[in-house]
Structure 1
Amino acid sequence: MRSNAAEPAETTPWYRQFWPWFLIAPPAVAVVGGLATLWLALSSPNPLVVDDYSRIARAIEKRLERDQAAAALGLRAEIRIVAAAGLVQVHLYPETVQPEALELRLSHPLIEERDRVLPLTRVPDGWSAELEPPEGRWYVQLYPGDRVWRLSGELTGSRSLVLVPPAYADPP
């Protein structure tokens, strides 16, 4: 009679055991996650990253020049939104400054598609344009047709706004 102790125990193949799969799973998941992250990064680049810093610097400098030109002229504008009539009224001071054309730009802080540029029409008591009353927060810019100067401010839920040039410190 033979003893069963001398016979080798039956072993199952490695791919049918728990521990190899337990050790293979984390690196495999990491590789799949890395490839998914790489695909997301390459398929949807971030539009907020800017490459041309000198162009931005020139635009900021130009904006400062426009603000300084408005300050040199002593400009001030009062903007009033008449919701019932669907109008925006603009009064520009001093009254000696009367440009040929005047534009009002309303910029939404988050959604570019909501931005509006309104050409203003001269009326006896200032300037006016049709405007559906905006809700929420808006950036406002007022500038002439030749864009030599600009007044800017922020409209936050109210129906009136006074635009004045910002005060900049003179460079040393």
Structure 2
Amino acid sequence: MQQDIKPWYKQLWPWLLIAVPVFTALKAAHTVMLMQGNIPDMVVDDYYKEGQAINQRLALYREAELRNLDAKVLIAGNQIIIRFAQNDTLGEHMLLDFYHPTIANKDFNLTAERSGKLLYIATLPHSLQGNWRIAVTDNSKAWKLRANLVLPASQEIQLGY
């Protein structure tokens, strides 16, 4: 009885055993390439400096609360309207900072012009969709109001501290 013996490279089992680590190494290299191309924007290098900036922002929100500022924001088409409840010492312009929660490349700033006693209006550079954060401040940057927006929105959203 003669047994037909094939060389190892013509057998199925060695190739299956080799394929598992090769596939794993290729998948790991692919994952590393994806991670290098999509570095998260939320990672901060200097935590101490970021903590100081957070404390400064909180002081601006407290200042807005002390001034008893009350405002609402409405986005209608490509216009953003900021309506204050009272206007004792507000200037001719408001600075609007739009922040995307996860993609820093989408962040942008606008200047809203006064339109009447209580209204400030600005034109958006493009249509906004999804979740956004907005911060409103005056030219002197002595106070700040903020809100989370889910766009498109059909009603006014309260700006808070």
TM-score (norm 2): 0.72
Task: Deviation per CA, 1:139-159: give whole Å up to 9, x if none.
Answer: 222101121110111233134
Identity in percent: 27
Structure 2 residue corresponding to 1:158, chosen from 133, 154, 161: 154
What is the SS of the residue equivalent to 2:62? helix
| Consecutive unaligned residues in structure 1, runs of 5 or more | 166-172
| Consecutive unaligned residues in structure 2, runs of 5 or more | none
Note closer, same or farther for the CA distance 1:146–1:20 as it changes in structure 2 (3 Å cut): same
Note closer, same or farther for the CA distance 1:79–1:23 as it changes in structure 2 (3 Å cut): closer
Matched, 1:145 2:139: yes
Who wins on radius of gyration, i.e. which is larger?
A: 1
Structure 1 residue corresponding to 2:84, chosen from 82, 92, 96: 92
- 1:120 shift after superposition: 1.8
Distance 2:128 2:135 in 1: 15
Aligned counterpart, 2:39: 46
Note closer, same or farther for the CA distance 1:24–1:120 as it changes in structure 2 (3 Å cut): closer
Q: CA RMSD in A?
A: 3.1
Matched, 1:60 2:79: no
Aligned counterpart, 1:24: 18
Give the number of equivalent residue pairs. Answer: 156
Aligned counterpart, 1:105: 97
Q: Is the 8 A contact 1:120 1:127 kept in 2?
A: no
